[in-house]
Structure 1
Amino acid sequence: MAGGSRDALAAPVDVAAEVVIVGGGIAGLATAVALRRVGMGGVLVLERQGELRATGAALTIFPNGWFALRALGIAHKLTCRYDAFQTGEVGVRPVHRKVLLEALAKELPPATIRFSSKVISISTETRGGSPGEIVVVLLDDGTVIRSKILIGCDGVHSVVARWLGLPEAATSGRSAVRGLSVYPDGHGFKKGLRQFLSAGLRAGMGPISDTDVYWFLVNNTTTAGKQNEVGTDPAKILREVTENVGRNLPAEYLDVVCHSDPGSLTWAPLLYRHPWAVLTGRASYGPITVAGDAFHPMTPDMAQGGCAALEDAVVLARALSRAPKLADGVAAYISERRCRVAWLVAGAYLSGWVQQGGSSVQGVRSYIIRLFRDLIFYKFLFPKLADAMWYNCGDLKPRNEIGKNYSE
């Protein structure tokens, strides 16, 4: 597996790279793989953690995500391991997040990923009288990295997005608990996603393998104070889910929750960037841009966060490979992605809002929302959102093959 480390006692040094990617999650590693697929070298991924991120037990990949993974050259490594759900009209496969990260990392040369690297400042230098040609990144250990391109893939609270001036992510008024349950002797569940709805709450569970089951609980009743009280303590999270927030859910679901691997449990507010901010915000400056949650954080109600990040990687690499100047490639990427990801952000938010009856809405308004959900959303809007899950972001071709008939 690709990896890298630094000696904490070593003196700070200056480092040069063609491309610097901040963040070693799905967006960051996928972008690094995509750039290598089009023949761009000198890629350096800066990950603030000491190893590949383990946060997030699993994710569901829809067809658009599989199209992107095929372009990245790793789809076959996952489809042979994970079966498609047996229910639903849209073919999807759940995968372990860590397995996806490892599959991406294995496509990268050794030392591509620099772990324990926290970015504390970003600036630009002029070269030959042209502003912004060289990007300068300063790490917390004093290391200075200069590159021709900087891509922020550092999540919802992105340092790069903040430097660009993108608005901070907004709260959706909801939070989500997620976990991975393990049945060493097998769980016996049918492969498919099952959901449970009640006032202000949406829960679900789905097998990933014969022994592992992913589950989630999205609610708009838990206050920020309660989340702070529970924190990251697995025992407190389980107790809050089974005895308070989810106490009225079916016994079968609660049994799955009780089988959770403590290390997989997370509880966090659901944040998103307003669609108009995605459409109009400054998502690039010369050779500096963002991808994944750093660009378009969204709620998980359409399971499109990871899929959209994979699409970003393919589109960005292709745009850079075709452009005469790097800044032109970045601009082309943003232009191509804005409308699509803004639609996904809006669709995800709307989907979650109507499924749970509207955040903190009671009485007549709640009734009207349910009518909208049943008579308009599911009949007219959701089919259009479902079509977005079949989007094909296209293939990747090496720069010396652009314009030729190329296939793997």
Structure 2
Amino acid sequence: MADRGGKAPAWTSAAAAVDVDAEVVIVGAGIAGLATALALRRLGMGAAGGGVLVLERHAELRSTGAALTIFPNGWFALRALGVAHKLTSRYDAFETSRVTTLETGATQVFRFAGRKSSSGDVRVRPMHRKALLEALAEELPPGTIRFSSKLASIATEKAQGSPEIAVLRLDDGTVIRSKVLIGCDGVHSVVSQWLGLSEPASSGRSAVRGLAVYPDGHGLKKELRQFLSEGLRAGMVPISHTDVYWFLVNNTVPAEQEAGTDPAKILREVTDNLGRHMPAEYLDVARHSDSGNLSWAPLLYRAPWAILRGPAARGAVTVAGDAFHPMTPDMAQGGCSALEDAVVLARALSRAATPADGVASYVAERRGRAAWLVAGAYLSGWVQQGGTNVRGVRGYMVRLFRDWIFYRFLFPRLADAMWFDCGDLVEPNAEGKTHSE
């Protein structure tokens, strides 16, 4: 990567303002951003010329959310990216979810990955979010990620006879010109706003997420435990022998704004108010929380029809991950779908005659699946919650549907969507093998 004076800049948080040329700029060093950068590198893009640059507004890799669960579709993508083995060796798989309805005491047990058989690395595994980010970042050349780089504005310019390029201005005065711009900057994406995509909508629900730490071990069984109550869904799943990821999804209440980002207030609201009737084992997990990994935030999503019809591309500018299709976490597909995006986008760019053609191909391929995942996640969350703010007879009917039909018949079909294989990053060679074989 070269600045406009021909020298390679040292990307540090204190980098001086310079003018930079890049082949591809990715805004955001989250899952989508790092995976896209790695996918492009695997295909040899950016090896010459300006290279691939990832802009991250924070001073280090983010770990908001503490943990996530990777389903088979995520493992197919990670295998294509060449990093699956780094994570499967660290995190155990689990097969079942145990759901207890607190009002009746009834418990249902089902396979969390649907009706298909798991094998090898293609299984459901919860993991630390930061471990995934680091596994991706370690594969990138030094200097790929520019930290403490906040995007201030986006414009375009076009020289006679040349394709339109993106012109980015950072808040430190740096100006970056790029042939391709990919927004991976989350739910409130600056790039998606520039493209004209609709603002994410509220689901009417919020989620507390935390990571409990037991230095001497927790002794919990390797399964997802969930507890349902009117207007609430709580859950916990072991990540390692010392760490347990837990969550509480609630119909949005004023106390969320009052608690803000104060870990003590958030935890007190969970244990003393919202979740006070939860089982003792769940409350014990919550009380073991690491305060640095405790958050409470609204669950947002982009309407499926906005994903299907919205302006997700302009020339060689597009979005991926939450910037494209934010969804509620009820099918654990936010991170997995971002990994899919990365593979599909890099492959489309590598095969197209022009960057704009590659971006258009990517958006066309991803719209339908992304809209389906958003709709499936919303439906799954709404039903499991017993209907958001639905009470009386209607609420009773929703809960009856959930307990007798949804978990037994509908959820396994939704889970089958998690077996999608986004494909590899290279064409088979003469022997019919890919790089991952």
The corresponding residue for 2:311 is 282
In structure 2, what is the Cα distance between the partners aligned to 1:93 and 1:255? 23
Determine what percentage of the aligned residue pairs are the same residue: 75
For residues 63-86 of structure 1, the C-alpha deviation after alignment (integer angstroms, 9 at most, x for no partner) is: 000000000000000000000015
1:169 is matched with: 200
Q: Does 1:304 align with 2:333?
A: yes
Q: CA-to-partner distance for each residue in 1:96-130, whole Å, 9 max, x for gaps?
A: 00111011000000010000001111111112245
> What residue identity is the alignment partner of 1:19?
V
Which residue of the other structure, out of 37, 54, 66, is the alignment partner of 2:75?
A: 66
Q: TM-score, normalised by structure 1?
A: 0.95
2:420 aligns to what?
Answer: 391
AA in 1 matched with 2:203 = S
Render the CA deviation track for 1:274-308: whole Å, top value 9, x for unaligned.
Answer: 01101110000010000000000000000000000
CA positional deviation for 1:375: 5.1
Q: 1:207 aligns with which of 219, 223, 238?
A: 238
Equivalents in 2 of 1:233, 1:85: separation in Å?
32
What does 1:64-143 align with in structure 2 at a 5 Å threshold? 64-88=73-97, 89=111, 90=113, 91-129=123-161, 133-143=164-174
Structure 2 equivalent of residue 57 of structure 1: 66
Is this contact kept in 2: 1:20–1:44, CA < 8 A? yes
Rate the CA distance shift 1:85–1:405 in 2: closer, same or farther, 3 A: closer
Inter-CA distance 351–402: structure 2 relative to 1 (3 Å threshold): farther
Residue 87 (structure 1) shift: 2.5
Relative to the length of structure 2, the TM-score reads: 0.88
Deviation at 1:226, TM superposition (A): 1.6
CA distance in 1 between partners of 2:430 and 2:425 (Å): 9
Secondary structure class of the residue paired with 1:68: helix
1:166-205 alignment, distance < 5 Å: 166-205=197-236
Summarize the alignment of residues 182-261 of structure 1 with structure 2, pairs less than 5 Å apart. Answer: 182-220=213-251, 222-223=252-253, 225-261=254-290
CA distance in 2, matches of 1:31, 1:343: 22
- 4+ aligned runs moved over 4 Å, structure 1: 400-405
Note if contact 1:196-1:249 (Cα within 8 Å) is conserved in structure 2: yes
The residue aligned with 2:435 is 407
Instruction: Give the CA deviation at 1:253.
Output: 0.2
Q: Give SS of 1:136's match.
A: strand
Counterpart Cα distance in 1 of 2:305 and 2:95: 37
Q: How much does 1:374 deviate?
A: 4.2
> 1:125–1:58: structure 2 CA closer, same or farther, 3 Å change rule?
same
Which residue is 2:402 aligned to?
373
Match of 2:105 in 1: none
Once residues 339 and 24 of structure 2 are traced to their aligned partners in structure 1, the CA distance between those partners, rounded to angstroms, is: 18
Distance 1:43 1:71 in 2: 19
Cα distance, 1:196 vs. partner?
Answer: 0.4
Aligned amino acid, residue 12 of structure 2: S
- In structure 2, the partner of 1:29 is 34
- Equivalent residue letter for 1:21: I
Indicate how the Cα distance of structure 1 residues 172 and 36 shifts in structure 2: closer, same or farther if over 3 A, else same: same
Q: Following TM superposition, by how much is the alpha carbon of 1:381 offset from its aligned partner in structure 2, in angstroms?
A: 3.3
The code of the aligned residue for 2:134 comes to E
Residue 384 of structure 1: how far off its partner (Å): 2.5
Which of 40, 43, 49 is the equivalent residue of 1:38?
A: 43
Separation in 1, partners of 2:238, 2:402: 28
Q: SS where residue 334 of structure 1 aligns?
A: helix
Report the AA paired with residue 284 of structure 2: D
How far the C-alpha of 1:58 sits from its partner, in A, is 0.3
**Residue 48 of structure 2 is aligned to residue 17 of structure 1:** no
Q: Give 1:227 shift.
A: 1.5
Instruction: Please state how far the C-alpha of 1:163 moved relative to its aligned partner.
Output: 0.2
1:407, CA displacement in angstroms? 2.9
SS in structure 1 at match of 2:289: coil
Question: Deviation at 1:142?
Answer: 0.9
2:14 is matched with which residue? Answer: 7
1:108 counterpart SS class: coil
Question: 1:230-282 deviations in whole A, cap 9, x for unaligned?
Answer: 11111111111000010000000000000000101011000000011011100
- Contact preservation (8 Å) 2:13, 2:59: no
User: Is residue 333 from structure 1 mapped to residue 365 from structure 2 by the alignment?
Assistant: no
Q: Distance in 2 between matches of 1:31 and 1:402?
A: 27
Displacement, 1:368?
2.3
CA distance in 2: counterparts of 1:218 and 1:287, whole angstroms: 38
The letter for the 1-side match of 2:235 is G
Distance 2:417 2:383 in 1: 19
CA separation in 1, counterparts of 2:140 and 2:126?
A: 24
Tell me how far apart the structure 1 counterparts of residues 233 and 311 of structure 2 sit (CA, whole Å).
Answer: 34
Match of 2:44, SS state, is coil
Question: SS of 1:156's equivalent?
Answer: coil
Please say if residues 71 and 314 of structure 1, whose CA atoms lie closer than 8 Å, have aligned partners that are also in contact.
yes
- Give aligned pairs, total: 400
Matched residue type, 1:303? A
- In structure 1, how many angstroms separate the alpha carbons of the residues matched to 2:196 and 2:129? 30
The runs of 5 or more residues in structure 1 that have no matched partner are none
| In 1: Cα distance, 2:267 partner to 2:399 partner | 30
Say whether the 8 Å CA contact 1:322–1:402 is kept in structure 2: no
The residue type paired with residue 5 of structure 1 is: T
SS of the equivalent of 1:127 reads coil
RMSD (Å), alpha carbons: 1.8
Unaligned residue ranges in structure 2 (runs of 5+): 1-9, 98-110, 114-122
- Report the alpha carbon displacement of residue 402 of structure 1 after superposing the two structures with TM: 11
Counterpart contact for 2:313–2:360, Cα < 8 Å: yes
Query: Does the CA contact (< 8 Å) of 1:86 and 1:190 recur in 2?
Result: no
Distance 1:376 1:191, change over 3 A: closer
